[in-house]
Amino acid sequence: MSVPSFALGGDLLGRAAQRRRSRSARVASWDHTGLNEDAFVVMPGETTTLADLEGPGAITHLWFVQGCRIILGPGLFDARQAGTAMVEFNNALGYSWEVNDPDYYRKVLIKMYWDDQEHPSVIAPLGDFFGVGNSLPATFQSLPFTVSVKDDSERKYGGPAAFNCFLPMPFNRRARIEVENQGEHPYVQYFYVDYELYAEDLPDDTLYFHAQWRRSNPCAGWGPDLQVNSLETQVPNLDGKDNYLILDTEGAGNYIGCIQTVNHFTETWWGEGDDMIWIDEDFNPDGTTAWPPSMHGTGGEDYFSHGWGMQKINFPFQGTIIHEEDVPGLQVHYRFHLADPVRFNERIRVTMEHGHANHLADDWSTTAYWYQTLPAPRFGILPVEQRLPRRAKGPSYEDLPAVDRTSLDPLRQKMYEQRDARMAEFTGQRDEWFERRAAESRARTEKNKELAAEVRAKFLKGRG
């Protein structure tokens, strides 16, 4: 019996033992000149296409490594001669003085388009899409996503990390993945986009991958200063209309879960809010929701498959990325419905109470993931200033007192003048390097598209 090219039947390991009428390929940031400048540079305000693929096919794996440096002082080398995107010297050695932008995981957007749609089916801050909540990376391992961070960068705002996504993303005619730099500094992106090509169109029942990021900062709580689980919070919620909204979409598909970030303000417990999911017939003809929903839960930690609070676990389908015991007031966690997809045929609305009966007013954000039919719903994203993470700030460069140079003796004034001259030279070299690399990245984007088209043409020719 022949097996369709795109089919997800059977177990994950067993798929590797099945022959498919397909061909594997990759688009990556590799240096086409054969040198080691293996990264794209995306300038402030610029959108860069990482992959532009003709179908039918399916993306099978994403690997991303990135950085966005702020230069605090001049380095001791010619930035134009740097073969790699960033120099990994410790600032204490004196060779360089630069740090990652602590907010850039929220400033850079990832977008994905399927089959020539004008609007994206995926739009989210890059960090939140892969599980970096609040711009604070931490190592975790789930089935669809992994993030790995060096020990000295664990739970540091904007810290370097490696991202992986293994969710299949089918496309029939075309797939396009973009990153948009809405920050103030040049952004560096290494990436792999691994995919398969098929000789025939996708089956009619194929669903397309979607992801959307939302934030309520803060949630509109009616009693934010009431203690969680106290007698005063025991009021009924029999409509769910004020719940936090994770997803609301029309069409047919499968909701497969979310990653949630909670900044909790009252030093008690952020949970006790029930999940409530309305599906298809749960909606009245006028679009309002009937009561009760098809799926009604018992508490925030219960929906995320924990209990008696959140545990420090990384399981395939549920887990904690950052625990509030490690970063006070911050909890980042996930639940993936891959073994138990939430299926809908007309519409789905996924919500959760922020505290019982929505009394808490915390900062919540979520990335929802689902598959559905096209055309995709149109949705946008908050402007960059409303996406910035709520950071716990300690002493920093910004807290240094201003120096009155006129009060310094001539030698010390000369040292400042020397620093200013070196800084101007260094930033000039750095800007020249960024502009060159950004231009090469644009050219590499076009070349990658040509190479992908050549691979597809050879595959189809070989298939006759």
Tens digits of residue pLDDT in 275-330: 999 999 999 999 999 999 999 999 999 999 999 999 999 999 999 999 999 999 99
Task: Please check the confidence at residue 464 and state whether its pLDDT lies above 80.
Answer: no
Find residue 155's DSSP bridge partners: none
CB 38 within 8 A of CB 237: no
Cα(first)–Cα(last) distance of the chain, in Å? 21
pLDDT-based confidence at residue 2 (cuts at 50, 70, 90) = very low
DSSP, collapsed to helix, strand or coil, labels residue 434 as helix
pLDDT-based confidence at residue 102 (cuts at 50, 70, 90) = very high
**Interatomic CA distance for residues 391 and 128, integer angstroms:** 15
**Interatomic CA distance for residues 271 and 290, integer angstroms:** 25
* pLDDT score for 75: 85
- Taken as a whole, the chain contains a residue count of 464
Closest CA to 186 of 388, 435, 384: 435
- The residues near 324 (Cβ < 8 Å, ≥ 6 apart) are 264, 270, 310, 330, 331
Q: Which two tokens stand for residue 425?
A: 């030279």
- CA 169 from centre of chain: 16
With a pLDDT cut of 70, the percent of the chain lying above it is 97
417 by Cβ neighbours in 10 Å (0-12 / 13-18 / 19+) ranks as exposed
- For 148-203, how does the pLDDT look when each residue is reduced to its tens digit (9 = 90+)? 999 989 999 999 999 999 999 999 999 999 999 999 999 999 999 999 999 999 99
- The residues near 193 (Cβ < 8 Å, ≥ 6 apart) are 26, 27, 28, 50, 51, 53, 59, 61, 62, 177
Task: Please check the confidence at residue 425 and state whether its pLDDT lies above 90.
Answer: yes
Could you write out the DSSP letters of every residue in 128-142?
HHHT-GGG----EE-
DSSP code of 399? G
Q: What are phi and psi of 133, to 5 degrees?
A: -85, 140
Q: What are phi and psi of 418, to 5 degrees?
A: -65, -45
pLDDT-based confidence at residue 6 (cuts at 50, 70, 90) = low
- For 436-458, how does the pLDDT look when each residue is reduced to its tens digit (9 = 90+)? 999 999 999 999 999 999 999 99
Q: Return the top range by mean pLDDT from 92-96, 360-364, 375-379, 399-403.
A: 360-364
DSSP code of 121? S
* pLDDT score for 78: 82
CB 259 within 8 A of CB 332: yes
Q: Which of 16-20, 69-73, 367-371 has the lowest mean pLDDT?
A: 16-20
* pLDDT score for 89: 79
Neighbour tally for 80: CB within 10 Å: 12
- The residues near 32 (Cβ < 8 Å, ≥ 6 apart) are 444, 447
Find residue 114's DSSP bridge partners: 175
375 by Cβ neighbours in 10 Å (0-12 / 13-18 / 19+) ranks as middle
* pLDDT score for 17: 81
* pLDDT score for 3: 47
Task: Please check the confidence at residue 84 and state whether its pLDDT lies above 70.
Answer: no
Mean pLDDT of 123-135: 98
Task: Please check the confidence at residue 363 and state whether its pLDDT lies above 90.
Answer: yes
Task: Please check the confidence at residue 51 and state whether its pLDDT lies above 90.
Answer: yes
Q: Which two tokens stand for residue 115?
A: 């089959």
* pLDDT score for 93: 84
- For 222-278, how does the pLDDT look when each residue is reduced to its tens digit (9 = 90+)? 999 999 999 999 999 999 999 999 999 999 999 999 999 999 999 899 988 999 999
User: Where are any strands of DSSP class E within 273-375?
Assistant: 275-279, 295-296, 318-322, 330-336, 342-344, 347-352, 363-372
DSSP, collapsed to helix, strand or coil, labels residue 178 as strand
Residue ranges and CATH numbers for the domains of the chain are: 19-205+416-464 (2.60.120.1390), 208-372 (2.60.120.1390)
Task: Please check the confidence at residue 31 and state whether its pLDDT lies above 90.
Answer: yes
